[in-house]
Amino acid sequence: MSTVQLVLSIILGVLSLFLVVVVLLQESKSSGLPAGSIGGGESETFFSKHKTKSYEGRLALLTKASAIGFVVISIALVLLQKYQ
């Protein structure tokens, strides 16, 4: 195992733990019923307009970024092992 593979493996481990924590911190989007079954969908409120500035918006952004990083590093590790 090369130094690059070792560093990427450590980063992947830390990133996977971070991804699990961020996903577990998020609140559930529904409370049993589908979102649009009774009320006709989500109404436009102040919090839905400014979702990226809220705590939930930041968690969603961190989830997306860490998931993309996880996939990219995983593919890089596979390619490094294949062409070594």
Query: For the segment 42-59, what is each residue's pLDDT rounded down to a tens digit?
Result: 555 555 566 667 888 899
The DSSP symbol for 36 reads T
CA angle 80–4–14, rounded 5-degree value: 100
- pLDDT given at position 53: 73
- Average pLDDT over all residues of the chain: 83
Query: For the segment 33-46, what is each residue's pLDDT rounded down to a tens digit?
Result: 555 555 555 555 55
Do the Cβ atoms of 5 and 80 come closer than 8 Å?
A: yes
- pLDDT given at position 42: 53
**Average pLDDT for residues 3-21, to the nearest whole number?**
96
Do the Cβ atoms of 70 and 20 come closer than 8 Å?
A: no
Domain ranges of the chain: 13-24+51-84
Do the Cβ atoms of 42 and 35 come closer than 8 Å?
A: yes
Residue 22 CB neighbour total at 10 angstroms: 19
Is the pTM for the entire model greater than 0.85?
Answer: no
